Structure 1
Amino acid sequence: MTSGPARQFLALRARRVWKTLVRLTLPLTEALVTGVPDPARPRSRRLAPRVPHALGLLPFRTIDLVLLGDLVLTFVLFTSGLSYLRTQAVAAHSPLDREALVFAALAFSLPLALRDRWPLAAWRSAFLLVPLGMVVSRQFIGGVPYTAAASIMYALVVYTVAVRSERHVTVGAWVVTALGAWIIHPDSMAVVTGLVTASVLFGHNVRARRLAAGLLAQEERRSERALAAQAALEERARIARELHDVVAHHMSVIAIQAEAVPLQAAGDAARLEEGLGQIRALSLTAMTEMRRVLGVLRDGDGDGDTAPQPGLGRLEELVGTARSAGLTVTLGLGGDLTGLPTAVSLSAYRIAQESLSNAMRHAPGSTVSIKIVRSGAELRVQVANSAGHRSSDRPGPTGHGLIGMRERVSMLGGSLWIGPVGNGFAVTAILPIMEKT
């Protein structure tokens, strides 16, 4: 008896041999029994035209030209093969068995009609029917037993298997065909193997090209979706910046005035009415700008955004609003600020607006200095505020406002500095001025 280690070694070798046999026979098994081909590709309109209205009673709406071509070629191979077999039988002075001749002609042509819908079934039937048809044809055909019809049919069927099946299934069909050719007629095995090999290689090349084209199209669709998602994110970020600037500034002013107006009025109805009128005007302005931004979301083409974007031309209005909220604002402009690109003018306006909003929230009652100077191909925006005269519940500007500033400046390719200066806070932005061409 063998020892324990020896039995384990033999069992391991047996498992390896079994796995090797399974790996070698898997292509043959899938080709002959279990393999499933890929579905047929969708037909283009040129290969599947619609049925004319005059033939509207037909049970199908399109004409499959590929299937129709296979059926026509099957009929041609059948009739030509039957005529050839009958001629050979007469020349050989063999008795004409019509049923046998028809069976042989069908065996050499019928599988072709199945290759589009069921390629592996067509090859399997051809692999079985061709030898059976040869049993009849060899009675009066000398030399190579394969007819032209059988050769054409088998080459087309094997080509379809290579186009529609995985590589190992195609290899299994090639091996089975070569073994069958060697068994049926060894002298012609080289010719049969060469014909089948050419068909298999051509079909595999077509399959590889189609798969590559499919992967490329899929990658293009994935890239388009990624670009669309990126564009959507950028648009969302732009809208978020606009909404933040509008809400942060106007709501800050409204909140401050709502608190200050009753104290300033001191029971004077006229001053109270005047203050409430300013609050109402600011509210309407905020609502107008919010409608403009939200209109982009409602209109897919952006056609609803008809209101002009704010720019440096509205700086005086912005400064007046900040002053009404209790800030002491000085405005200094330099250089020719007319004719600036819309993106530059809007970004400069929003930077000044966000800086004033931060001063209202974090340094109420402070003194704010705004300097906007154009120098050559650059626009310099500097906003600085003092510590303020009243206490604030926040230590300094943080959050989405500063992020929005950085994003605006980054999109224009400019530079931004933000940070404390003495007891106050300062924002300095340099925006390149580049007209669109």
Structure 2
Amino acid sequence: MALFEQIRVRLPRGARADAALAGGVFVLVAFPEGKLLGHGGDPLPSRVVSWLLVIVVCGALLFRRRYPVAVGWFTVVGTGAYYVLSDVDGPLVLVPIVALYAIAAQGRMQAAIAMAAAMVIGVGAATLTTASDVTGTAVFMLTGWLVAVVALGSGRHGRLAYAEEEARLRATEERLRIARELHDVIGHNISMINVQSGAALHRLKKDPAQAEAALSAIKAGSRDTLQELRATLDVLRRVDEDAPRAPTPGLARVDTLVGSANLAGLAVRIERTGAERALPARVDLAAYRIVQESLTNVARHSGAGHVTIRLAYGDRELTVAVEDDGRMTARPARPGGGSGIAGMTERARALGGELAAGPRPEGGFVVRARLPYGITGERWSGAADDQGPAGG
């Protein structure tokens, strides 16, 4: 395989491709032209006119990329003049057909149809008004060829447009995935550092031991954040390489989130019901991120003291609920455009599930998500093979 890659021929592009096309068409036209001129004792003026028109019409293909429509019409007019003025019936009609395909492939359908119609009308008129060897059947066949050429060019334009749209869609999805990961991973750690630093300042004089523990958590959190950031940047630098080998975050690491929240002053407990199972990667990641974002919101906005994380493993879906006893019954939007609840909702919907967030009747706030094991929702590029940054 490596040997084949080394000897693989690279096709010319740009101006070199135009030159190769013009030269190749000229050879195809000039070879039969030379054979025809060599028989029958054609007069010198006819030979000169024939060769000049062949050279000029073929040479026009050098400019087809810059002036596609102008070149197309020039080849049509030049080819028509060739068959009218020259005594030689060579295959110069190949040139306007090549130009016609190029115009259709660029999506200029009006110009392509007009050129094809002009060629058919011109050949038909010449057949009716002159003693030409071209018959009505030949005109009909020419019409079929031109329609096929326009259709092929239009099909190529459609495929290229579709490929470009797919590329734009993938780029948009990738930007959304990166934004979501940066928000959920780094945003969570920075928020916890902010809460823990406030707790450390508050306890510095009253309880130095707890203040020291909070500062240690800040140190660990900042180290994890730097690792997450480096991992994310490493992913962004990878082009046409293997996927990162860092493990994807999942519920197996939820205890790390709980420990960080405990150091921020929250009493967090986890309740699991149902038979625990190995979750699909998308579900596992989404559940982890929902718990992570919910704890971040509780630490920053609620003033809660206790949080309960409920994980219910059903036969077909996982239910995740994060409940707190805070005073605030709504979660304000993140300054700076953070996604918050909207981002969690996107994750759940991408799996064919749903997420609801709102105040509890007994006080506090709850985030509840239903995540089916089978992927039936819309495609989300950041979930399936997400090997994004994992927490330190």
TM-score (norm 2): 0.71
- Aligned equivalent of 2:205: 266
Is the alpha carbon distance of 1:238 and 1:159 closer, same or farther for their aligned partners in structure 2, counting shifts above 3 Å?
Answer: closer
Is the alpha carbon distance of 1:74 and 1:384 closer, same or farther for their aligned partners in structure 2, counting shifts above 3 Å?
Answer: same
**Larger displacement relative to structure 2 (115-124 or 256-265):** 115-124
**Larger displacement relative to structure 2 (195-204 or 354-363):** 195-204
Q: CA deviation at 1:382?
A: 0.9
5+ residue gaps in structure 2? 1-9, 60-74, 101-114, 376-383, 385-392
Q: Which AA in structure 2 matches 1:74?
A: E
Contact 2:214 2:263 in 1 (8 A): no
- Whole-angstrom distance in 2 between the partners of 1:321 and 1:196: 87
Q: Secondary structure at the match of 1:333?
A: strand
From 345, 356, 360, the equivalent of 1:421 is 360
Q: Which AA in structure 1 matches 2:320?
A: V
Is the alpha carbon distance of 1:201 and 1:416 closer, same or farther for their aligned partners in structure 2, counting shifts above 3 Å?
Answer: same
Q: CA deviation at 1:200?
A: 4.1
Contact 2:25 2:95 in 1 (8 A): no
Is the alpha carbon distance of 1:77 and 1:111 closer, same or farther for their aligned partners in structure 2, counting shifts above 3 Å?
Answer: farther
- Residue 203 (str. 1) matches residue 138 (str. 2): no
Contact 2:49 2:85 in 1 (8 A): no
- Residue 246 (str. 1) matches residue 203 (str. 2): no
Is the alpha carbon distance of 1:384 and 1:268 closer, same or farther for their aligned partners in structure 2, counting shifts above 3 Å?
Answer: closer
- Whole-angstrom distance in 2 between the partners of 1:384 and 1:309: 25
Report how many residues are paired: 326
Contact 2:214 2:264 in 1 (8 A): no
- Whole-angstrom distance in 2 between the partners of 1:301 and 1:227: 18
- Aligned equivalent of 2:77: 120
Equivalence map 1:119-158=2 (5 Å)? 120-130=77-87, 153=89, 156=91
Q: CA deviation at 1:307?
A: 1.9
Q: CA deviation at 1:172?
A: 5.6
Q: Which AA in structure 1 matches 2:27?
A: L
Q: How high is the sequence identity, in percent, across the aligned residues?
A: 31
From 34, 38, 41, the equivalent of 1:75 is 34
From 212, 234, 256, the equivalent of 2:173 is 234
Contact 1:370 1:384 in 2 (8 A): yes
Contact 2:53 2:78 in 1 (8 A): no
TM-score (norm 1): 0.65
Aligned Cα RMSD in Å? Answer: 3.5
- Aligned equivalent of 2:119: 170
Q: Which AA in structure 2 matches 1:428?
A: R
Is the alpha carbon distance of 1:68 and 1:418 closer, same or farther for their aligned partners in structure 2, counting shifts above 3 Å?
Answer: same
- Whole-angstrom distance in 2 between the partners of 1:308 and 1:158: 62
Contact 1:372 1:382 in 2 (8 A): yes
- Whole-angstrom distance in 2 between the partners of 1:238 and 1:253: 22
**Larger displacement relative to structure 2 (248-257 or 113-122):** 113-122
Q: Secondary structure at the match of 2:134?
A: helix
- Aligned equivalent of 1:362: 301
- Aligned equivalent of 2:373: 433
- Whole-angstrom distance in 2 between the partners of 1:210 and 1:171: 13
From 345, 357, 363, the equivalent of 1:406 is 345
- Structure possessing the higher radius of gyration over alpha carbons: 1
- Whole-angstrom distance in 2 between the partners of 1:334 and 1:204: 73
Q: Secondary structure at the match of 2:270?
A: strand
- Aligned equivalent of 1:7: none
Is the alpha carbon distance of 1:161 and 1:251 closer, same or farther for their aligned partners in structure 2, counting shifts above 3 Å?
Answer: closer
Is the alpha carbon distance of 1:112 and 1:180 closer, same or farther for their aligned partners in structure 2, counting shifts above 3 Å?
Answer: farther
User: Structure with the greater relative contact order (CA < 8 A, sep ≥ 6): 1 or 2?
Assistant: 2
- Whole-angstrom distance in 1 between the partners of 2:225 and 2:93: 73
Is the alpha carbon distance of 1:397 and 1:301 closer, same or farther for their aligned partners in structure 2, counting shifts above 3 Å?
Answer: farther
- Whole-angstrom distance in 1 between the partners of 2:46 and 2:259: 98
- Aligned equivalent of 2:164: 225
- Whole-angstrom distance in 1 between the partners of 2:165 and 2:189: 36
Q: CA deviation at 1:434?
A: 3.4
